[in-house]
């Protein structure tokens, strides 16, 4: 029976037999930045700056929302310098069961803890928050329904007022007044992000995801599927990832409404370069003096190039949402660690 996309995605991804809560996990089907240790190293640099701005609290929390199988947390646990590791509390927030082999001091839970002091991360989580799809109907948007068995779509009824208001504000008609074929109603993502930001007492929420801005929304919709490394049709039958690009400016505004502080939005290539990730190849001379070091540096440069490629992962958005710390974009990304300024932090 046809149902709305939000309900269909919820069951297909997170139901008893859902794609994300059973099976081998996201890594078996697609590669994200979080699977690359270089990202963990860069995030530790960001964490050090945040830690300084917070006055080096004990404990310092790092909460990964939508942690997959804990790949990024495993990297952070491995790379954290001993002095930091002694204060660091790592928490995965995940609907999937705890995987084997994760260090036992990594906490695993379905909801974020309360009053977090530290960093709340969400890499490629928001694109998997279920949402509804609408298409132009006679005089107004109407919901698109889908048959979960085979993905066949059919027209549904009118939208709720809150959904229509979201579209008016965040997905207005383009300048030529020609409506897009379909739109994705990002309201549930805004609410999910606002709730996540609300769990921070002091610190920084960082969402990393692919998305678009109001000035350039897609005309044909972005909802799609991924399975076994390939892009496939978005059939909500539990056999594949279902993902849609994130209206990141609307998510940011929802987070700021909770945080009460401005946000920073930059592309991943900018953020990572500022955090010292460099995709340049090592000098060839190193190959003769230190062949093993040269090969390591070459592998690192190639991963860095992949993470910072503006046409690929480097084009993902980094939404930085400070809570109770000075919103200082230049500081978060400066080459030198941010020193705690007098009066900084503290709510
Ligand atoms: C695309 S995966 C991203 C995994 C990892 N962060 C990465 O970047 O590779 C999205 C993950 O978010 C999890 N997820 C989705 N909604 C969630 C929620 N409300 N609470 C906790 N986890 C959630 C899914 O189970 C899935 O593992």
pLDDT digits (tens, 9 = 90+) for 323-333: 999 866 556 66
Give 72's contacts (C-beta < 8 A, 6+ positions apart). 34, 35, 39, 40, 43, 64, 121, 123
Atom from ligand 1 closest to the CA of residue 243: 1
- Total count of residues recorded for the chain: 347
DSSP 225: E
Report the alpha-carbon distance of residue 99 to residue 25 in Å, rounded.
Answer: 10
Any domain includes 234? no
Q: Does the Cβ of 66 fall within 6 Å of ligand 1? A: yes
CATH of the domain at 196: 3.40.50.150
Band the pLDDT of 297: cuts 50, 70, 90.
confident
What's the whole-number average pLDDT of the chain?
91
What is the distance in A from the centroid of ligand 1 to the CA of 262? 26
Is it the case that residue 344 has pLDDT exceeding 80?
no
* 166 within 8 A of 187, measured Cβ to Cβ: yes
Q: Sort strands 241-243 and 224-227 into parallel, antiparallel or unpaired.
A: antiparallel
Beta strands in the chain (DSSP E): 3-4, 60-65, 88-93, 107-109, 116-123, 132-136, 141-146, 153-158, 183-185, 200-209, 211-212, 224-227, 230-232, 241-243, 246-247, 264-267, 317-323
Residue of the nearest CA to atom 23 in ligand 1?
A: 66
Report the alpha-carbon distance of residue 105 to residue 89 in Å, rounded.
Answer: 8
Any domain includes 20? no
What is the distance in A from the centroid of ligand 1 to the CA of 166? 24
**Residues 96-100, mean pLDDT to the nearest whole number:** 93
Q: What is the layout of strands, in order, in the sheet containing 116-123?
A: 107-109, 88-93, 60-65, 116-123, 200-209, 317-323, 264-267
Q: What was the pLDDT predicted at 340?
A: 30
Spacing of C-alpha 40 from chain mean position: 14
Any domain includes 156? no
Question: On the CB side of 52, how many CA atoms lie within 13 Å of its CA?
Answer: 13
What is the distance in A from the centroid of ligand 1 to the CA of 41? 21
Is it the case that residue 59 has pLDDT exceeding 50?
yes
Q: Does the Cβ of 19 fall within 6 Å of ligand 1? A: no
How many domains, the chain?
Answer: 1
Reported as a single tens digit per residue, the pLDDT across 183-227 is: 999 999 999 999 999 999 999 999 999 999 999 999 999 999 999
Q: What was the pLDDT predicted at 336?
A: 47
Poorest-pLDDT segment among 28-37, 45-54, 160-169, 218-227: 28-37
Report the alpha-carbon distance of residue 250 to residue 194 in Å, rounded.
Answer: 11
Percent of the chain scored above 90 by pLDDT? 73
**Residues 36-57, mean pLDDT to the nearest whole number:** 93
Q: What is the layout of strands, in order, in the sheet containing 241-243?
A: 230-232, 224-227, 241-243
Any domain includes 257? yes
Q: Does the Cβ of 34 fall within 6 Å of ligand 1? A: yes
What is the distance in A from the centroid of ligand 1 to the CA of 128? 7
Q: Does the Cβ of 112 fall within 6 Å of ligand 1? A: no
**Residues 87-103, mean pLDDT to the nearest whole number:** 95
Q: What was the pLDDT predicted at 170?
A: 98
Any domain includes 60? yes
Any domain includes 204? yes
**Containing domain of residue 117, as a range?**
31-131+186-210+245-278+313-333
Report the alpha-carbon distance of residue 57 to residue 54 in Å, rounded.
Answer: 7
Poorest-pLDDT segment among 103-117, 210-224, 276-290: 276-290
**Of 73, 186, 194, 179, whose CA–CA distance to 136 is shortest?**
179
Is it the case that residue 70 has pLDDT exceeding 70?
yes
Report the alpha-carbon distance of residue 221 to residue 324 in Å, rounded.
Answer: 36
End-to-end CA distance of the chain: 50
Give 145's contacts (C-beta < 8 A, 6+ positions apart). 2, 3, 4, 5, 153, 154, 155, 156
Q: Does the Cβ of 94 fall within 6 Å of ligand 1? A: yes
Q: What was the pLDDT predicted at 55?
A: 93
What is the distance in A from the centroid of ligand 1 to the CA of 205? 16
Any domain includes 293? no
Provide the angle, in degrees to the nearest 10, between the axes of the packed helices 187-198 and 248-259. 30
Q: What was the pLDDT predicted at 279?
A: 79
Rg over alpha carbons for the chain, rounded to the nearest Å, is 21
Neighbours of 172 (CB within 10 A): 11
Q: What was the pLDDT predicted at 329?
A: 54
Is it the case that residue 144 has pLDDT exceeding 80?
yes
Give 197's contacts (C-beta < 8 A, 6+ positions apart). 120, 205, 255, 258, 259, 321, 323
Any domain includes 268? yes
Give 249's contacts (C-beta < 8 A, 6+ positions apart). 170, 213, 214, 265
Give 241's contacts (C-beta < 8 A, 6+ positions apart). 13, 19, 20, 26, 29, 30, 128, 225, 226, 227
What is the distance in A from the centroid of ligand 1 to the CA of 246? 14
């Amino acid at each position: 029976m046809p149902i709305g996309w939000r309900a269909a995605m919820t069951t297909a991804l997170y139901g008893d037999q859902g794609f994300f809560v059973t099976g081998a996990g996201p890594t078996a089907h697609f590669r994200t930045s979080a699977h690359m240790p270089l990202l963990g190293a860069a995030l530790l640099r960001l964490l050090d700056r945040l830690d300084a701005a917070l006055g080096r609290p004990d404990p310092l929390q790092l909460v990964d929302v939508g942690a997959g199988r804990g790949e990024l947390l495993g990297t952070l646990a491995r790379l954290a310098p001993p002095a930091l590791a002694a204060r660091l509390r790592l928490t995965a927030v995940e609907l999937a069961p705890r995987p084997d082999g994760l260090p036992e001091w990594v906490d695993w839970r379905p909801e974020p803890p309360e009053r977090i002091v530290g960093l709340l991360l969400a890499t490629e989580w928001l694109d998997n928050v279920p949402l509804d799809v609408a298409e132009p109907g006679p005089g107004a948007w109407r919901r698109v329904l889908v048959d979960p068995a085979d993905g066949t779509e059919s027209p549904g009824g009118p939208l709720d007022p809150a959904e229509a208001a979201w579209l008016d504000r965040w997905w207005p008609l383009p300048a030529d007044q020609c409506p897009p074929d379909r739109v994705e109603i990002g309201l549930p993502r805004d609410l999910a992000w606002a709730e996540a930001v609300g769990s921070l007492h002091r610190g920084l929420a960082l969402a990393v995801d692919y998305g678009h801005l109001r000035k350039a929304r897609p005309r044909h919709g972005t909802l799609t599927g991924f399975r076994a490394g390939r892009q496939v049709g978005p059939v909500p039958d539990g056999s594949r990832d279902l993902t849609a690009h994130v209206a990141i400016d609307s998510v940011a505004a929802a987070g700021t409404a909770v945080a009460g502080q401005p946000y920073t939005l930059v592309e991943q290539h900018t953020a990572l370069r500022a955090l010292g990730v460099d995709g340049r190849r090592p000098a060839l001379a190193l190959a003769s003096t230190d062949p093993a070091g040269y090969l390591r540096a070459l592998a690192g440069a190639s991963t860095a190039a992949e993470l910072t490629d503006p046409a690929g992962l480097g084009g993902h958005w980094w939404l930085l949402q400070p809570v109770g710390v000075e919103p200082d974009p230049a500081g978060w990304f400066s080459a030198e660690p941010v020193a705690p300024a007098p009066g900084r932090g503290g709510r």
